[in-house]
């Protein structure tokens, strides 16, 4: 591991706190040191208060901040002398400790200080860095971990046995560190947890961390336990999308809420999931208690989807917590599923949560394999893991979680998503917490939303193979499809029936009708496995109840689609799937309504453009967002008992009314 310190970069940060920000970000850049909010840093600064009196302040990383992006407001300024006094108490509950940290923070708007604030306070160094370095955690997760740490570092570190973070750990360190440290001490190793480094400057503390971790990496390299052999490329097996959806449904049932399930069939994950001993080594516990993730190794159970669902339900019931208290506080569903055909499947209430779990478990696999090469992976005893998982501070965090968005954990698929009503639907469903898959012939659909909760797939919906591939990708990304919006369509130039070429008629039918039949056929097996039951919204048209001259192909195709939706509502009701239709009219912020076309149509009626846009009973303009919001609401709880409905969103059309 190399130091990333750059004097030119550092010069852009002023003062002790500024340099604390800079060196913290350097640590955060390296995933082998910290992941997703892990690790802690601090600096002790003497300041003058409003009364002109000097006081010593510990600036420690606040809860919710990530080292890679932290800034000065991310550090909580806590009165140092009070923290040191707290360390001398014989007992202090975690809730009392948090209260003391909050009430002795100097800035009211500051984040909640880290639970390790007292530990940082009692270490007699200006700068303190703490990481969960993969190499160090690997060494400590072996039977003879403490002896190996001494072999690596000698007198350069103090070794502290594992104690859960919080007051007890701080008090133990307050007792042992002064007695066991010496003139050569540069760091402290917390068994099964991580490593601390310290210094009188930000650079010294940071570079000590890099040097200490590098020594651990070199030790593992000498023992042939650092450089892992590259996983052999393994073709990802062709697993039916409905089988993955069945797994997701079983996990969601165990969790008590819809969950996102992301499948990663990368060679390293498939190789790990296919190991003969994976059922043993994956169940020994996490690399560090900071990364408590429930892991299950579950074999694929065949292609009979009903049997698949039944067997997974039985599996997860067997693994439910027996304690009623546990069951009410934390769902029993795994967050990692290892499958020999799917590789690594990660679970979360959102795509971001699932992505974080994947990052963490990628590093966990590395720690496990290296520890196995070193003599055998040995995590903390199950009771210690239980104490972390059901720690009162973790439970309080769960209780503070608040109400999740309406579609949290659910997956929406929208066709025609690159513009107009489709794009607005993507935004409306994402705003309600859904993961969204957008399909469109326009390749710009890929970059519509650069975020973990969106996948854009260029797709010609008239090509069954492309549609099948799009569904397969949607399911691997998020685990299934719960909400379907059929929006893709074409509106050809106005032609009388006498002038309508058969080729154009067939092209319109292929896009507006035949493609939607294929999409519905592909979607049904997934919608019936949706944790909250599937919901379909079809974007119809005013032309269904009130066609106009010159639009025979469009009107007929939309009318046929409307009938298809009604039949689907009848056939799929037994599966709990709702199918409803929204009929927009005169939505002018779409691709077909260019400024020139608008001006021409307005002039035809002797109206201004603004008057033409509001040519309806209510005298209002209907936008893509209006249609999208109605489509989203039709997938929500208000419409849970409505199917086969047709609802206009047109400002009131005299011919329809």
**Are 587 and 623 in contact, with CB atoms under 8 Å apart?**
yes
19-to-58, 105, 205, 362, 449 alpha-carbon distances in Å = 14, 21, 11, 31, 34
**Are 185 and 156 in contact, with CB atoms under 8 Å apart?**
yes
- Written as six digits, the tokens of 625 are 């967002």
> Does the annotation mark 361 as catalytic?
no
151-to-197, 287, 378 alpha-carbon distances in Å = 18, 21, 18
Burial 460-498 (b: 16+ CB within 10 A, else e): bbbeeebbeebbbebbbbbbbbbbbbbbbbbbbeebeee
Query: Which one-letter DSSP state was computed for residue 622?
Result: B
**Are 195 and 220 in contact, with CB atoms under 8 Å apart?**
no
Rg (alpha carbons) of the chain, rounded to whole number: 30
Backbone angles phi and psi of 640, in degrees to 5: -65, -25
**Are 482 and 498 in contact, with CB atoms under 8 Å apart?**
no
CB atoms within 10 A of CB 533: 15
Query: Which one-letter DSSP state was computed for residue 155?
Result: G
57-to-13, 66, 99 alpha-carbon distances in Å = 19, 21, 17
Please give the Cα distance from 255 to 183 (Å, whole number): 52
Catalytic residue among 206, 454, 554, 612: 554
Please give the Cα distance from 438 to 57 (Å, whole number): 50
**Are 358 and 262 in contact, with CB atoms under 8 Å apart?**
yes
Please give the Cα distance from 394 to 338 (Å, whole number): 26
For the chain, the 3-state helix, strand and coil shares in percent, each to the nearest 5, are 45, 15, 40
List, in order, residues 6 or more apart from 551 with CB less than 8 Å away: 491, 494, 543
Backbone angles phi and psi of 523, in degrees to 5: -80, -30
| Burial class of residue 627 (count of CB atoms within 10 Å of its CB; 0-12, 13-18, 19+) | buried
Select from 257, 148, 233 the least CA-distant residue to 192: 148
Please give the Cα distance from 130 to 75 (Å, whole number): 15
Please give the Cα distance from 572 to 534 (Å, whole number): 9
**Are 612 and 599 in contact, with CB atoms under 8 Å apart?**
no
Mind telling me the catalytic residues?
554
């Amino acid at each position: 591991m190399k130091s990333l310190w750059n004097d030119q970069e550092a010069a852009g940060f002023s003062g002790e706190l500024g340099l604390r920000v800079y060196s913290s970000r350097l640590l955060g850049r390296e995933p082998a040191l910290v992941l997703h909010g892990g690790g802690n840093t601090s600096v002790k600064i003497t300041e003058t208060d409003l009364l002109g009196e000097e006081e010593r302040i510990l600036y420690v990383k606040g809860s919710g901040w990530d080292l890679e992006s932290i800034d000065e407001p991310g550090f909580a300024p806590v009165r140092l002398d009070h923290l040191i006094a707290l360390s001398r108490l014989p007992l202090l509950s975690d809730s009392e400790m948090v209260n003391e940290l909050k009430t002795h923070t100097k800035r009211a708007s500051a984040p909640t200080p880290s639970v390790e604030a007292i530990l940082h306070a009692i270490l007699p160094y200006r700068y303190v860095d703490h990481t969960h370095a993969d190499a160090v955690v690997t060494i400590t997760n072996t039977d003879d971990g403490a002896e190996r740490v001494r072999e690596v570092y000698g007198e350069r570190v103090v070794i502290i046995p594992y104690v859960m973070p919080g007051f007890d750990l701080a008090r133990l360190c307050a007792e042992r560190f002064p007695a066991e440290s010496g003139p050569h001490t540069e760091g402290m190793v917390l068994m099964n947890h991580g490593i601390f480094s310290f210094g009188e400057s930000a650079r010294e503390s940071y570079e000590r961390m890099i040097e200490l971790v590098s020594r651990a990496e070199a030790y593992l390299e000498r023992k042939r336990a650092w450089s892992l052999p590259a996983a052999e490329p393994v073709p990802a097996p062709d697993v039916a999308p409905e089988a993955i959806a069945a797994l997701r449904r079983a996990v969601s049932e165990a969790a008590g809420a819809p969950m996102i399930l992301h499948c990663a069939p990368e060679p390293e994950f498939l190789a790990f999931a296919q190991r003969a001993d994976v059922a043993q080594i994956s169940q020994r516990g996490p690399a560090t208690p900071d990364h408590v993730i429930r892991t299950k190794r579950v074999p694929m159970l065949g292609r009979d989807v009903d049997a698949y669902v039944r067997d997974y339900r039985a599996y997860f019931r067997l693994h439910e917590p027996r304690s009623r208290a546990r069951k009410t506080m934390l769902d029993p569903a795994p967050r990692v599923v290892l499958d020999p055909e799917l590789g690594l499947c990660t679970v979360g209430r959102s795509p971001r949560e699932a992505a974080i779990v994947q990052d963490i478990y990628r590093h966990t696999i590395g720690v496990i394999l290296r520890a196995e090469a070193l003599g055998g992976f040995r995590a903390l005893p199950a009771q210690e893991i239980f104490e972390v998982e059901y720690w009162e501070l973790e439970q309080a965090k769960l209780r503070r979680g608040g109400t999740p968005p309406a579609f949290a954990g659910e997956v929406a698929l929208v066709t025609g998503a690159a513009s107009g009503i489709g794009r607005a639907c993507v935004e409306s469903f994402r705003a309600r917490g859904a993961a969204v898959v957008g399909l469109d012939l326009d390749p710009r659909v890929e970059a519509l939303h650069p975020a973990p909760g969106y996948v854009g797939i260029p797709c010609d919906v008239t090509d069954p193979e492309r549609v099948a591939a799009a569904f397969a990708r949607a399911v691997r990304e998020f685990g299934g499809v719960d909400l379907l919006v059929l929006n893709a369509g074409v509106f050809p130039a106005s032609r009388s029936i006498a002038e309508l070429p058969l080729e154009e008629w067939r092209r319109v039918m292929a896009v507006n009708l035949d493609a939607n039949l294929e999409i519905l056929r592909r979607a049904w097996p997934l919608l019936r496995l949706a944790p909250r039951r599937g919901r379909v919204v079809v974007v119809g048209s005013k032309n269904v109840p009130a066609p106009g001259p010159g639009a025979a192909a469009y009107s007929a195709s939309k009318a046929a689609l409307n009938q298809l939706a009604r039949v689907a509502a009848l056939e799929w009701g037994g599966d709990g799937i709702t199918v409803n239709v929204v009929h927009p009219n005169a939505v002018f912020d779409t691709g077909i309504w260019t400024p020139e076309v608008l001006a021409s149509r307005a002039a035809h009626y002797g109206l201004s453009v603004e008057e033409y846009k509001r040519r309806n009973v209510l005298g209002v303009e209907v936008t893509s967002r209006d249609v999208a919001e109605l489509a989203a609401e039709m997938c929500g709880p208000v419409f849970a008992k409505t199917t086969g409905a047709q609802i206009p969103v047109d400002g009131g059309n005299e011919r329809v009314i």
